[in-house]
Amino acid sequence: MAKKTPDTEIKARIYNAARRLFVEKGYYQTSIPDIVKEAGVSIGAIYHHFSSKEDLARVIHQDALAQFLDRYDRHVESVVRAEDKVRGFVRFMFEWADEDLIMVNYLLHGRPQEILEYNFTICSAEGLEAVKKIVVTGIEEGTFKKGDEVLMAAFISGPIMRLIELKTDGIITAPLSSLAEETAEYILAALKA
């Protein structure tokens, strides 16, 4: 149940083709004709369902973001202890990547720069905030050392993103979720008081 199901079959074909191509080749390297070929639809169909190429990217991005926030709420926000927040964060990101690697990559890398500006992304300053909140909780709890919060946050998001990249590049072949516990323990080893 990873993907939002768009209203019509054709819309779904466009959506999925675009998502895949944006991640594989990059937003700017993907042309409308590319999407036409990949989705097997007409140019007109694309512009009937989406107002522009950028809009298409934005809709996908918003879906990806909504999924991220939903999972973040369930696995991080609603959890009390910082250690469990870290475990939850790692676990949901890896499970999500196993379910829908394209969507996770879309959130990390697949959209045009223009979208970055008016949207939260896990790579952006706002994305950092989400992770920083975990760090702050841990420090307040006394579980984590006192240290530079930004630097500490980089020890949560950095390895997670790097491992998702390695999975994407085919260097890691096992399901990422099988590495979740070990990854969380390394992060905690780095951060714990």
Partner DNA sequence: AATGAATGAGCTTTCATTCAT
Partner DNA sequence: CATGAATGAAAGCTCATTCAT
CB of 190 vs a second copy, minimal distance in Å: 4
CA–CA dist 52, 21 (Å, integer): 16
CB nearer to DNA: pick between 46 and 153: 46
**Separation of alpha carbons 126 and 13, rounded Å:** 31
User: Scanning the structure block, which residue is given the tokens 């390297």?
Assistant: 29
- Which positions from 95 to 124 touch a second copy by CB under 8 A, shown as an x/- string? ------------------x---------xx
Rounded to an integer, what distance in angstroms lies between the CA atom of residue 11 and that of residue 180? Answer: 35
- C-beta of 55 vs 70, nearer to a second copy: 55
CB of 32 to DNA, least distance (A): 3
- Fill in the per-residue mask, 9 to 38: x = in contact with a second copy (CB under 8 A), - = not in contact: ----------------xx-xx---------
Alpha-carbon gap, residue 137 to 89, rounded angstroms: 14
Diameter of the chain measured on Cα atoms: 59
Q: Where are the alpha helices (DSSP H) in the chain?
A: 9-25, 32-39, 43-49, 53-72, 82-99, 101-105, 113-117, 125-141, 149-168, 180-191
Residues of this chain that interact with a second copy (CB under 8 A) are 25-26, 28-29, 113, 123-125, 128, 147-148, 150-152, 154-155, 157-163, 165-166, 169, 171-172, 179, 182-183, 186-187, 189-191
By CB under 7 A, name the binding residues for DNA: 7-11, 30-34, 41-45, 47-49, 51-54
